[in-house]
Amino acid sequence: MNETQQPTATEVIADGHVKAGHAQEEPMHDDHSHVAAHVNKYLMVGGLLLLFTGLTVFLSYVDFGTHKMNMAVGMVVATIKAGLVAMIFMHLNAERQLIYRILVFTVFFVLALFFLTYLHWYDPISR
Amino acid sequence: MDIPYTTTARPDTGLWNAKIGIWLFLASEVMLFGGLFSAYVFLRLDALPGYWPHGLLNVPVGTMNTAILIGSSVTVVLAWAALKMRQFNRYKIYMGITILCGIIFLAVKLAYEWPDKFQHFGAYIRQDRLEKYEEYLGNHHMLERGLEPRVEITGHLHNHDALHDPNIHEYEVQLDQVNAAPTDPASDRPHFWPLPKSQKIAVIEKADVEHAEMFVPKHNTFFATYFTITGLHGLHVLGGVIVFTYFWLPIGANLYKRNPEHLANRVEVAGLFWHFVDLVWIFVFPLFYLL
C-alpha cells in the first residue's frame, strides 16, 4: 500500500533506525521514538509481575482467618497482575475506541456466564 | 495480490485489520476459558468436605514456570519494540528467547509435572471404613483443630499390579508424609517444598476403598479440572511457539525485507495472543497450585 515509503532492508540494517516518516496514517502511540521510550517501562512491568508472583506465593502461606479470605487475597493479586499485562503489554492503556467496544461486550458476557454459575446456589433442586 | 490494511488503518475502523481480528478472537477465548473457570468455581464450591485436595502440585516448579512465562511476555514485547525501531538482530534474539521460554514451559509440564502425577497413587476410603484407617488419616485430630476430614490415603504404590489384577486384594502404599504422621501439623499440606515420602508402608484393603487410582483426570474433580485447564492452556502455549517459530525462521526475514512494518504488526498480534496465554496462567497458578 504505502510500499514506496517503506525503508529498504539495506537502509534499515545500515543505521538500525527508520528515517522515513512512513507512519502518517498510524496513531501516535506507534511512533518509533515513542516505542524506544517504552522499553524501560516493559522491563519494569516485567519485574513488577515477578515480584507479584512471589507475593502471591508468600501470601498463600499466610493465614487470613478463613480460606475464603485467602482465596480473595490471591485473586486480588492475580487481578492486579492481569491488569498490568492487559494495560501495558497489550497496550490497552492507549487503544482505539473499537477495541474497547468489543471488550465491553466480552466483559458483559463473561460476567453473565459467572452469574449463571452463581445462580445454582439458589437452585431448589440441587440444594 | 496484497492483503489490504496490514499496515495502514482501515478508514472506517481506524485500525489495521489483524488488530481487530485478534481482539475478536481473544474475546472468544475469554469465553472459552471463562466457561472452564466458571465450571471450576461451581465444582470447587460444591466439593464435599475433604474432597478438594490441597498442595498436591509442586509449588517451586509452578512458580518457576510462572516466572518463565512472564519473562517470555516481556521478551515478546521487546521483540516487537525492536522491530518497530528496525533493529532486526535484536528482534531475532528476543524472539528466540521467547520461543525457548515457551518450549521450556511445555517441557516442564509434559516431562515433569504431569508424569509426576501419573506416578502418584491415591485411595479414597469408604465413609464407613474411615475409622479403620484412623492411624493414617488422623481425623480425630483434624476434628479437634476444626479442619476438614481426610478421606484419602496417598503415596507411592508398591504393587502396581493391584490396579488391574482382581486377585490382588490390597494396595501396598509407601505413604506420603501427611498420612505417615497425620497428627503432626508439620506434615500437613500445603508445603512450599514438597515433603519427601515417608518410609512407612500401609496396606489398604480394596474392600475398604471407594475408588483408587493414580493421579489421572478421573481420580477426582481437582485433577479433572487441573488436567483440562492446564492441557488447554498448554495447547495455547504450543500454538504460540509454532507461530513465533514461523516468524523467526527466514520467512520472517523475507517479510522484513519487503515490509518491516508488516512483520512488526504480525509480531504484535501474535504477542497479544501470547500475553493472553500469560494472563490465563496468572489465574491458573494460584487457583490450582496455591489456594
Please write the tens of the pLDDT for every residue from B86-111.
999 999 999 999 999 999 999 999 99
Asked if pLDDT for residue A3 goes beyond 50, the answer is no
The one-character DSSP state at B123 is E
Q: If phi over 0 gives left and psi between -120 and 50 gives alpha, with beta otherwise, what is residue B5?
A: left
- Test the A interface: residue of B1, B23, B26, B29 with most A CBs within 10 Å: B23
pLDDT at position A103 is: 93
- Test the B interface: residue of A2, A11, A49 with most B CBs within 10 Å: A49
**Does the domain formed by B43-118+220-290 have CATH 1.20.120.80?**
yes
| Chain A residues 48-67 with CB within 8 Å of chain B | 49-50, 53-54, 56-57, 60-61, 67
Which chain A residues are within 8 Å of B74, Cβ to Cβ?
Answer: 42-43, 45-46, 89
Nearest CA to B109 among B58, B55, B72? Answer: B58
Confidence of residue B80 (pLDDT cuts 50, 70, 90): very high
pLDDT at position B203 is: 94
pLDDT at position B60 is: 95
CA distance B109 to chain A (A): 18
Asked if pLDDT for residue A5 goes beyond 90, the answer is no
Q: Would you tell me the crossing angle of helices B17-45 and B260-284 to the nearest 10 degrees?
A: 10
Please write the tens of the pLDDT for every residue from B192-243.
888 888 899 999 999 999 999 999 999 999 999 999 999 999 999 999 999 9
pLDDT at position A19 is: 38
Look up cell 476438614; give the residue.
B148
Which chain B residues are within 8 Å of A29, Cβ to Cβ?
Answer: none
Confidence of residue B1 (pLDDT cuts 50, 70, 90): low
Please write the tens of the pLDDT for every residue from A48-99.
999 999 999 999 988 888 888 988 999 999 999 999 999 999 988 888 888 9
Question: Residue B262 is placed in which grid cell?
Answer: 508488516
pTM: 0.87
Buried b (16+ CB within 10 A) or exposed e, A71-106: bebbbebbeebbebbbebbbbbeebbeebeeebeeb
For residue A14, which phi and psi values (nearest 5 degrees)?
-60, -50
Asked if pLDDT for residue A28 goes beyond 80, the answer is no
CA distance A123 to chain B (A): 13
- Test the B interface: residue of A71, A73, A75, A90 with most B CBs within 10 Å: A90
pLDDT at position A16 is: 38
Q: Which residues, 6+ apart, have CB-to-CB distance to B209 below 8 Å?
A: B123, B124, B125, B126, B171
The overall average pLDDT reported for chain B is 92
Look up cell 516493559; give the residue.
A42
Measured at the CA of A53, the angle between CA A52 and CA A56, to 5 degrees, comes to 85
Interface check B291 vs A, CB under 8 A: yes
pLDDT at position A32 is: 67
Which chain B residues are within 8 Å of A102, Cβ to Cβ?
Answer: 20, 23-24, 27
Question: What's the CA dihedral at B220, B224, B225, B228 to 10 degrees?
Answer: 170
Q: Is A15 or B44 the better-scoring residue by pLDDT?
A: B44
pLDDT at position A7 is: 45
Give the SS3 label for residue B121. Answer: strand
A42 and B77 within 8 Å at the Cβ level: the answer is yes
| Chain B residues 224-243 with CB within 8 Å of chain A | none
* CATH code 1.20.120.80 region(s) in chain B: 43-118+220-290
Q: Which residues, 6+ apart, have CB-to-CB distance to B177 below 8 Å?
A: B187, B195, B196, B197, B198
Residue B74 CA to residue B271 CA, distance in Å, equals 10
Sign (positive or negative) of CA dihedral A76, B19, B97, B243: positive
Q: ipTM of the predicted structure?
A: 0.88
Question: Residue B217 is placed in which grid cell?
Answer: 483426570
Contacts 24+ apart (CB under 8 A), B24-32: B24/A102, B25/B273, B26/B272, B26/B273, B26/B276, B27/A102, B27/A103, B27/A105, B27/A106, B29/B276, B30/A106, B30/A110, B31/A106, B31/A109, B31/A110, B31/A113, B32/B232
pLDDT at position A29 is: 46
pLDDT at position B274 is: 97
CA distance B46 to chain A (A): 9
Percent of chain B with pLDDT over 70: 100
Nearest CA to A93 among A80, A82, A102, A83? Answer: A83
CA distance A50 to chain B (A): 6
Searching chain B, which residue's CA lies closest to the CA of residue A105?
B27
Q: Would you tell me the crossing angle of helices B221-248 and B260-284 to the nearest 10 degrees?
A: 170
For residue B85, which phi and psi values (nearest 5 degrees)?
-90, 5
For residue B156, which phi and psi values (nearest 5 degrees)?
-100, 125
Contact yes or no for B104/B71 (Cβ under 8 A): no
**Of A12-26, B12-26, B227-241, B258-272, which range is least confident?**
A12-26
Sign (positive or negative) of CA dihedral B211, B215, B221, B222: positive
